[in-house]
Amino acid sequence: MSEEQRTPREAGAGQFERTPREAAEAEIGRALREAEADYERPAEGHYVVSLPGTRKLSTACSLLLGDHTLSVNAFVVRSADENHENVYRWLLERNSRLAGIAFALDRLGDVYLVGRLPLEAVTATEIDRLLGTVLDAADSSFNTLLELGFASSIRREWAWRLKRGEPTFNLAAFERLRPETPGDSGNALG
């Protein structure tokens, strides 16, 4: 935006008020600095923030400034291998409890969290709240989505590791999918 397109401030001659996009960018930068967030800036107005979780080790959250809005986009999990209807039902039911973001699918069926804010609503406090909501939603839903959409694969992984004496500590969240006998891949969905 050229200086001719900016609005002069009433208080000082020669000074120009920031555009909503510039103000939003300043607020995003402030929020990320205050949170000591790990992030990259692949382009002007684009931030990719790494949100550390406990179930999902890290969630990459993209913040992209447009002319009028801030778009939020975070990958959660790839397209389910099975049980699609129950996965989608769970996502839709969960959407009713989220603020400012929602679960969505891309054309491949991969699950994302998406949101959009008007630039005028972008403050450091709102960015902090939004990133917290993304982190909580991605992290708290991760194991449930894996269990709903990948139960057969998890059962096979359990069986393979048990049969070979491999470590199973990273399957602990899916203990209920553990086969009763080491060679049993548990082909039936539960």
Give me the pLDDT at residue 84, please: 97
Give me the pLDDT at residue 16, please: 72
User: Computed from CA positions of residues 168, 172, 177, 182, in that sequence, does the dihedral angle turn out positive or negative?
Assistant: positive
Give me the pLDDT at residue 3, please: 45
The set of long-range contacts for 69-72, using a CB threshold of 8 Å and a minimum separation of 24, is 69/116, 69/117, 69/118, 69/119, 70/24, 70/28, 70/116, 70/117, 70/118, 70/119, 70/122, 71/114, 71/115, 71/116, 72/100, 72/101, 72/113, 72/114, 72/115, 72/116, 72/117, 72/130, 72/134
Give me the pLDDT at residue 17, please: 87
Determine the CATH number of domain 19-150: 3.30.1460.10
Q: How far is CA 21 from CA 57, 63, 64, 105, 149, in A?
A: 32, 13, 11, 28, 39
Task: Locate the domains of the chain by residue range.
Answer: 19-150
Give me the pLDDT at residue 126, please: 97
Give me the pLDDT at residue 185, please: 53
Give me the pLDDT at residue 12, please: 53
Each residue's pLDDT, cut to its tens digit, for the chain (190 residues) gives 444 444 444 445 556 788 999 999 999 999 999 999 999 999 999 999 999 999 999 999 999 999 999 999 999 999 999 999 999 999 999 999 999 999 999 999 999 999 999 999 999 999 999 999 999 999 999 999 999 999 999 999 999 999 999 998 989 999 999 988 755 555 443 3
Report the predicted TM-score, pTM, of the whole model to 2 decimal places: 0.83
Cα–Cα nearest to 74, from 42, 50, 54: 50
Compute, in degrees rounded to 10, the torsion defined by CA atoms 89, 94, 97, 101. Answer: -110
